[in-house]
Amino acid sequence: MINKKEVQHIAKLARLGLSLKEEESFRKDLSEILDYFKIIQPLDTSKIEPTFHPTENFLLEKGNIFRQDKENKKSSELSEKLIELAPEKKEGYIKVKTVLKEYEF
Amino acid sequence: MNFNELKIKEIHEGLVKKEFSAKEIARKFLENIERKDKNICSFLTITENMAISQAEEVDQMIASKKEIPLLAGVPLAVKDNILVEGEKLTCASKILKNYIAPYSATCIEKLKEQKSVILGKTNLDEFAMGASTENSGFFPTKNPYDLKMVPGGSSGGSAAAVASGFCCFALGSDTGGSIRQPASFCGVVGLKPTYGAVSRRGLVAFASSLDQIGPIAKTAEDVAIVFEAISGKDELDSTSVEKNVLSLRDISRRETSFKFQVSSLRIGIPKEYFIEGIDKEVEKIIKNAIKNIEELGAKIKEISLPYTKYAVPVYYIVCTSEASSNLARYDGIKYGSKKGEKSENLFDVYLNTRAEGFGKEVKRRIMLGTYALSSGYYDAFYLKAQKIRTFIKQDFEKAFESVDAIFCPVSPHTAFKLGEKISDPLSMYLEDIFTVSANLAGLPAVSVPVGFSKGLPVGLQIIGNYFEENKILEIAKIYDKIKK
């Protein structure tokens, strides 16, 4: 069971605006689903490694894969296109609301 | 000539012999969509201009006596979470309703190189989250066999479009069954390749350790042709794997240039997949399909995959966690509408954009995933699930020591009614009971139509060993020939 306060906390972490109605319906849904998830809890997993990448063994190059740190001409065209797709932009930059506040002395 | 029933090789031969032109074929398919998709609602966008100009290119090649690739002029539909440069890309989400793809997915580039003709983008559950296509932010798709029924999901638009003859083949994506289950519900063939077999570049990420792009077509033969065209290593997806990986890695245990012989096949039947709750008639049809291959000489063996019952909770913990992280980018800054103006500060821009842009199921999964990753719950949910994922993978590795393929149902029943499960998220999650294990283990699996129950199609699932798509597709081809 999770309560309304927890729902509000998760929603804040997830940056999701929820209506009062949604808060209540997610409280109910999440409680039911998380309760179902609990069937995994009794399993002993102390001696087993997790699988984050199921076919890692088949990669010829292991671990992180790097590329040459060279300029890619195509990527500047692409970045223009990507910026153009942003909701608000100015002079080739994506516009964001104020992040840092002025110091008050 | 019934053009909408043509297979890839028939279209190719018709074009080469000049029985019809690529433009003629493209026009006929587009007219058919225009006339009939009102009832099915499988498409979100029709890419008519692009289709016609691609078809004209093919016709010019033929006119100048150039050899054309097998897939040239073959019309396809693309799930709307795969990028096609210059065309809309919505993921069936309001948050991306005006987004134009700035580049093409690698699989699309490969098909464009083959000169295939893209007719349009198909409907899906928003961000591929769902099993019925009812979670589309725009409208639900209907099952072509019965308009009161769902087509399955999340690649419901692609499966319904192939079943309706709106395209020769389609691309879908499969995170927990999203190609196989709609293929099963719509009576077509759908392949989820091995994780890494097809590049994910240009597929909008839902759960990155599970997502794979794959083909849907009327026959296993066509699915095999498309898989061959789109698979392979891509520098821009570092999890993608070379085509001939088995021989490169010298996995001598398995034949790398295998000769297919039904009589030498060993088929495993997992007892955990024939449980209470599976529709009796579906079970009968699946068992009959198993009998079909046994009569051809294959050996049938009961096997056990003991961790099966944990697959659904493990899958939903892993996929929602990955989704909550992947979908953080839809924040009103890089994507989304101009909601920022109404908001007082940056935090409110996030809250308002996401509140208005995401549908209920997407929000529910972001909430679940955020919970499973949050401080105090990470070990108990996310890490624990990833560890049990290893047990599930080991179940299959052990099974494949003694069998070549595993046969089981795709879904415990046939297509359900629109609206029947939409208000009960847990019962919708349990829909994925037979399909999620292949994604968790990263294995290839194909859904093949093997019969009808009360007029609705039933799919058999064939799960193969890593990178043995060819083997399971050869088996699937046997069912192309068996009359349903």
d(CA B113, CA B219): 23
For chain A, first and last CA: distance in Å?
A: 47
In this structure, of B12-16, B60-64, B68-72, B334-338, the range with the lowest mean pLDDT score is B334-338
Of B200, B199, B181, nearest to B191 by C-alpha is: B181
Q: What is the pLDDT of residue B42?
A: 98
Residues of A in contact with B336 (CB under 8 A): 87
DSSP element (H, E) containing B34: helix B22-40
Active site residue B287: no
Active site residue B93: no
- Model confidence at B341, in pLDDT bands (50, 70, 90)? low
Q: Which of A37, A56, A90, A94 to mutate to test the interface with B (most CBs of B within 10 A)?
A: A37
Report CB contact under 8 Å: A50, B386.
yes
Closest approach of chain B CAs to the CA of A103, in angstroms? 17
Nearest residue of B to residue A14 by CA position? B370
Token duo for residue B399 = 């099974």
Does B379 contact A at CB distance below 8 Å? no
Closest approach of chain B CAs to the CA of A89, in angstroms? 9
Closest approach of chain A CAs to the CA of B236, in angstroms? 10
Given the residues B132, B154, B158, B411, the one annotated as active site: B154
Q: Which residues numbered 231-290 in B keep a CB inside 8 Å of some CB on A?
A: 235, 238-239, 241-242, 245, 248-249
Q: What is the pLDDT of residue B276?
A: 78
Q: Which residues numbered 74-103 in B keep a CB inside 8 Å of some CB on A?
A: 99-100, 102-103
Residues of B in contact with A88 (CB under 8 A): 338, 340
B447 by Cβ neighbours in 10 Å (0-12 / 13-18 / 19+) ranks as buried
Does this model's pTM top 0.80? My answer is yes
Instruction: Give yes or no for a contact between B159 and B125, defined as CB atoms under 8 angstroms apart.
Output: no
Q: Stretch B262-285: mean pLDDT, rounded?
A: 94
Residues in chain B: 484
d(CA A34, CA A31): 5
d(CA B450, CA B87): 36
DSSP element (H, E) containing B170: strand B169-174
In this structure, of A56-65, B147-156, B243-252, the range with the lowest mean pLDDT score is B243-252
The H-assigned helical ranges of B231-359 are: 245-248, 280-295, 311-326, 346-357
Given the residues B21, B23, B42, B79, the one annotated as active site: B79
Q: What is the pLDDT of residue B254?
A: 56
Q: Which domains does chain A possess?
A: 4-40 (1.10.20.60)
Does A62 contact B at CB distance below 8 Å? no
Residues of B in contact with A49 (CB under 8 A): 387, 390
B270: left (phi over 0), alpha (psi -120 to 50) or beta: beta
Q: Where are the domains of chain B?
A: 7-232
Residue holding tokens 């079970």?
B283
Does A96 contact B at CB distance below 8 Å? yes
Residue holding tokens 């591929």?
B128
Instruction: Tell me whether strands B75-79 and B212-217 are parallel, antiparallel or unpaired.
Output: unpaired
Report CB contact under 8 Å: B380, A94.
no
Q: Which of B326, B371, B436, B439 to mutate to test the interface with A (most CBs of A within 10 A)?
A: B371
Instruction: Give yes or no for a contact between B484 and B450, defined as CB atoms under 8 angstroms apart.
Output: yes
Residues of A in contact with B383 (CB under 8 A): 50
Q: What is the pLDDT of residue B255?
A: 52
pLDDT digits (tens, 9 = 90+) for B166-180: 999 999 999 999 999
Report CB contact under 8 Å: B466, A58.
yes
pLDDT digits (tens, 9 = 90+) for B117-162: 999 999 999 999 999 999 999 999 999 999 999 999 999 999 999 9
Of B194, B130, B131, B182, nearest to B158 by C-alpha is: B182
Using the predicted structure, report yes or no on whether residue B58 has a pLDDT greater than 60.
Answer: yes
Q: Which of B335, B354, B384 lies nearest to residue A17, judging by beta carbons? A: B354
SS3 B110: helix
Of B83, B97, B186, B196, nearest to B138 by C-alpha is: B97
Q: Which of A9, A16, A74 to mutate to test the interface with B (most CBs of B within 10 A)?
A: A16
pLDDT digits (tens, 9 = 90+) for B387-443: 999 999 999 999 999 999 999 999 999 999 999 999 999 999 999 999 999 999 999
- Regarding the domain delimited by B7-232, which CATH topology (the fold level of the hierarchy) does it fall under? Amidase signature (AS) enzymes (3.90.1300)
Report CB contact under 8 Å: B351, A37.
no
Instruction: Tell me whether strands B189-192 and B266-270 are parallel, antiparallel or unpaired.
Output: unpaired
Share of chain B above pLDDT 90, in %: 92
Closest approach of chain B CAs to the CA of A21, in angstroms? 12
Does A31 contact B at CB distance below 8 Å? no
Nearest residue of B to residue A25 by CA position? B364
Residues in chain A: 105
Residue B195 CB contacts under 8 Å (≥ 6 apart), including other chains = A54, A55, B209, B210, B212, B239, B439, B442
Give chain B's mean pLDDT. 95
Q: What is the pLDDT of residue B342?
A: 72
pLDDT digits (tens, 9 = 90+) for B191-230: 999 999 999 999 999 999 999 999 999 999 999 999 999 9
In this structure, of A53-67, B120-134, B264-278, the range with the lowest mean pLDDT score is A53-67
Of B236, B231, B262, nearest to B469 by C-alpha is: B231
Q: State the ipTM, two decimals.
A: 0.93
pLDDT digits (tens, 9 = 90+) for B277-311: 899 999 999 999 999 999 999 999 999 999 999 99
- Model confidence at B371, in pLDDT bands (50, 70, 90)? very high
Active site residue B252: no
Neighbours of B20 (CB within 10 A): 16
Report CB contact under 8 Å: A29, B333.
no
Distances (CA, A) of B118 to B36, B73, B148, B303, B363: 18, 9, 29, 42, 32
Token duo for residue B347 = 């935090």
Q: What is the DSSP string of B261-287?
A: -GGG-EEEEEGGGS-TTS-HHHHHHHH
Neighbours of B130 (CB within 10 A): 29
Using the predicted structure, report yes or no on whether residue A104 has a pLDDT greater than 90.
Answer: no
Alpha carbon of residue B48 to chain centroid: 24
Beta bridge pairs of residue B446:
B191, B462
Token duo for residue B425 = 């998220």
Of B293, B260, B45, nearest to B161 by C-alpha is: B45
Does B317 contact A at CB distance below 8 Å? yes
C-alpha count within 13 angstroms, C-beta hemisphere, residue B402: 12
Q: Which residues numbered 201-220 in B keep a CB inside 8 Å of some CB on A?
A: 209
